[in-house]
């Protein structure tokens, strides 16, 4: 093997080593810009921004999200999206999502939520990220309590 081929292989290995480090799942920070996109008798489409923090020392490209949203342990809706979102290292980023909601589940959650001052919101699913030519799917499971203020 000649000297040039050895240098190319060494550069390729140096490129791969950072991507082999353990990847930490981004931290959920908040959601905002909740909008109703479409309203119907059977389903409703809402959009929102999910804000995250990438604590990893390398950036990645987010390729796919596949999540379910639960309110008080009842499925509210599902979102599955493909995109190419660049996520820089040690930075905040926003995932725009659209969620289709079954109106029966929404009404059931609304009535049970009126009896409580807090609701538990849970986001469960998978995200697929890419670093170079390598893809990896990570599970996400985030839960938070949200205060309700009707008046």
- For residue 5, what is the enclosing H or E element? helix 3-19
Nearest to 46 by CA among 22, 79, 9: 79
Q: Compute the average pLDDT of residues 89-104.
A: 87
Q: Angle at CA 15, nearest 5°, toward 13 and 21?
A: 90
Q: Is 3-147 in CATH node 2.60.40.10?
A: yes
| Torsion of the alpha carbons at 90, 92, 93 and 94, rounded to the nearest 10 | 160
The per-residue pLDDT for range 41-94, each reduced to its tens digit, is 888 888 888 888 988 888 888 899 898 988 888 888 888 989 889 999 899 999
Average pLDDT, the chain: 79
pLDDT for position 151 = 45
- The domain locations on the chain are 3-147
């Amino acid at each position: 093997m000649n000297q040039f081929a050895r240098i190319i292989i060494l550069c390729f290995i140096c490129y791969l080593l950072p991507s082999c480090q353990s990847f930490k799942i981004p931290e959920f920070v908040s959601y905002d810009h909740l909008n109703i996109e479409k309203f119907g008798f059977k389903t409703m489409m809402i959009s929102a921004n999910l804000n995250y923090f990438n604590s990893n020392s390398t950036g990645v490209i987010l390729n796919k999200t596949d999540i379910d949203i639960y309110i008080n342990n009842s499925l509210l809706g599902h979102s599955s999206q493909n995109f190419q979102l660049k996520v820089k290292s040690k930075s905040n980023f926003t995932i725009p999502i659209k969620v289709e909601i079954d109106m029966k589940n929404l009404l059931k959650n609304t009535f049970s939520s009126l009896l409580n001052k807090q609701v538990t919101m849970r986001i469960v699913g998978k995200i697929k990220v890419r670093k170079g030519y390598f893809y990896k799917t990570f599970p996400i499971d985030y839960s938070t309590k949200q205060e309700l203020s009707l008046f």
